[in-house]
Amino acid sequence: MYDRNPDRVDDALRSTDGVDETARYDDPLALADTCDVVVECAGHSAVERYAVPLLETGTDLLALSVGALADADLHEAIVRTAVASGARFEVPSGALAGVDAIKGAAVHGQLDEVVFVTIKPPAGLAGAPYIEEHDVDLAAIEEKRLVFEGSAREAAPAFPANINVAMALSLAGLGADDTVVKIFADPDETDNVHRIEARGGAGSMAFAFHTHPHPANPRTSYIAALSTIASLRRRTAPLVVGT
């Protein structure tokens, strides 16, 4: 366990049964010495700094901050390094229901259009670079309002703590430049609401889901943490469901 803020590690160790000081690391790259897989949940900068060095050791990386792959050079470096070392860069489904269907529809180019819509309480968008750069007054929003529309590649750096799910969707389907993202702020909404609309040779698909914000971080969904646990369990499961 590593965090650049040692107090967070202290809190985690105190609240986790069966885990002691031997789980503490002072260097994130040292995790590769004893771990088969490293889970990243520290933000885009952590992926940018540590993904390639960790993969070079042959250690798998399960990354939640997949929006960092909006950087095409980083994306290419991660894939190239994983191929060379035999390690895997894994992306959990997180709050992305329907990802298996999108992956299937993308086979042999059977996918023509993918639109991702997310609706969040205004507070869930606080601190996003796009919000600050465009002087969006979240407190003044009194009804549902479209605050962003663009590609997944554009959305990822604009909302790095909010929209990793859009980049995951783009990796499963049409890619970062051809996946459309729409972000709404709605003061009447308490959940994170996501909708996916896709069409192509395999047919038309629509998915809608409401997920509760994580109790400790309203900018992300609680299901993202649970999905990560499920991804880890899948690695050793005798029976695996889903692609």
- Cα–Cα distance for residue pair 242/120, rounded to 1 Å: 28
pLDDT reported for residue 206: 95
Q: What is the pLDDT of residue 211?
A: 83
* pLDDT for residue 133: 97
Residues designated as active site: 194
pLDDT at residue number 35: 92
The pLDDT assigned to 216 comes to: 76
Question: Could you give the domains of the chain?
Answer: 6-90 (3.40.50.720), 99-220 (3.30.360.10)
Please tell me the predicted confidence (pLDDT) of residue 222: 84
Return the residue matching tokens 């895997």.
88
- Contact 180/114 with Cβ under 8 angstroms? yes
Q: What is the pLDDT of residues 101-134, one digit of tens each?
A: 999 999 888 899 999 999 999 998 999 999 999 9
Q: Which residues in the chain land under pLDDT 70? A: 18, 95
Determine whether the annotation assigns residue 152 to a binding site. no
- Residue 2, pLDDT score: 87
Can you give the pLDDT at residue 234? 92
Per-position DSSP letters for 59-125, written without gaps between them? -EEEES-GGGGGSHHHHHHHHHHHHHH---EE---TT-TTHHHHHHHHGGG---EEEEEEEE-GGGG
Instruction: Read off the pLDDT of residues 61-88 as tens digits, 9 standing for 90 and up.
Output: 999 999 999 999 999 999 999 999 999 9
In this predicted structure, what is the pLDDT of residue 31?
92
Q: Is 95 annotated as a binding residue?
A: yes
Quote the tokens at residue 189: 């909404």
